[in-house]
Amino acid sequence: MRRLEDLDVNGKRVLVRVDFNVPLDAQRNVTSDARIEAALPTLRFLRDRGARLVLMSHLGRPKGGVDEKLRMLPVAERLQELTGWPVRAASEIVGPLVQDLALSLEEGEVLMLENLRFDPREEEGDADFGRELAALGDVFVQDAFGTCHRAHASVARIPEHLPSAPGLLLAKELDSFAKVLEAPERPFVAILGGAKVSDKLPVLENLLPRVDRLIIGGAMAYTFLKAQGLPTGKSLVEDELIDEARRVLREAEATGKVLALPSDHIVADEFRADSPHAVVERIPDGKLALDIGPATRARFAELLADAKTVLWNGPMGVFEMEAFRKGTEAVALAVAKCSGFRCVGGGDSVAALELLGLDDQVDHVSTGGGASLELLEGKVLPGVAALEASSR
């Protein structure tokens, strides 16, 4: 795949797909700059080489029509505040007016297109819409990892018409997951958590042959514990996946892989932040487990201590509630202490790291939950496939 530095951008209009799907408050002020800041290294790289930038992103879920609350103007204004660059916001996505704005860009100027999802053709992956977008630039850079798993027009169609390459953010994402999935240093330990086995079963199947140790926590662990014949009380269990869980357990045993499950639990009567809770080894009837217990935390930390590659996707409990956060915190601290390469993906894991102030203590924090899951499942992302095809 062509790299960013291979593109000739001097004096060119560079069309950049960014992920500026940022949160806005009631006054339409941007409340988190994280996604904007994540794109800045690529944008600076291009501007420093004489590019004229045309940026495009979606914002929210406008359902294929104009939603005044989801216009890109506040995002363009915030980008200008953060960088000091002259940023113009187009009131449309494509068409003669936008074409004139793109053609009139001076060196160092930035144009931000209107919300891509105001046009239903974006999510349809429409070829004509992709062609109209491509007409606004001379070169295309894809830097929105969080949308690369969707075959939308701005993701999969533009590379059919322009020299294309991944931006620095996307390249870092792909390189980091390749390091984990294709050439991991060993021991390789994967930690999977979250609510449902059904969400992670393809990931489990793809990772199990690759890892040395697999740690399973969160609510998804209770389907596996029930598959082992252990009591789970009122804990979340996907009964229709009991047989699949047994199959994964058998495969781990047959291939000599360590598959670690919780041995003690923090249980409560109800799914409530103030619900009285206790530590148990066996979950009583009428109780539900909302976090891993202290013995499990210690065991999981021990399994991570000498890891040379760590992949973490999913919390160990209901970390949003302080009473049920200690398991996720213990795993986060153990991951941070590892000397190996540490890659964290999935929105909840990233949110937990940020909440605990540990997001700068790991090597890679992924910016795309759905896209990272599909990479971990072994899928080829449509946005990446389009860049590869463009490079041939």
What amino acid positions are annotated as catalytic residues?
Answer: 35, 196, 347, 370
Cα separation values, 247 from 155, 244, 251, 253, 257, Å: 37, 5, 6, 10, 14
**Distant-in-sequence, close-in-space partners of 334: CB < 8 Å, separation ≥ 6:** 300, 301, 304, 305
**Distant-in-sequence, close-in-space partners of 257: CB < 8 Å, separation ≥ 6:** 208, 211, 212, 213, 214, 251
Instruction: State the Cα–Cα distance between residues 294 and 280, nearest whole angstrom.
Output: 10
- Cβ(188)–Cβ(210) below 8 Å: yes
Tokens of 250: 């058998």
Strands 139-142 and 13-17: parallel
**Total count of residues recorded for the chain:** 392
The per-residue DSSP string of 245-312 comes to HHHHHHHHHHTT-EEE--SSEEEESSS-TT--EEEESSPPTT-EEEEE-HHHHHHHHHHHTT-SEEEE
List residues bridging with 292 in a β-sheet.
265
DSSP code at position 94: S
Instruction: State the Cα–Cα distance between residues 158 and 151, nearest whole angstrom.
Output: 11
Q: H or E segment at 41?
A: helix 34-48
Instruction: State the Cα–Cα distance between residues 210 and 84, nearest whole angstrom.
Output: 46
- Cβ(236)–Cβ(217) below 8 Å: no
Which amino acid, one-letter code, is at 145? F
Cα separation values, 203 from 220, 290, 312, 377, Å: 13, 23, 12, 4
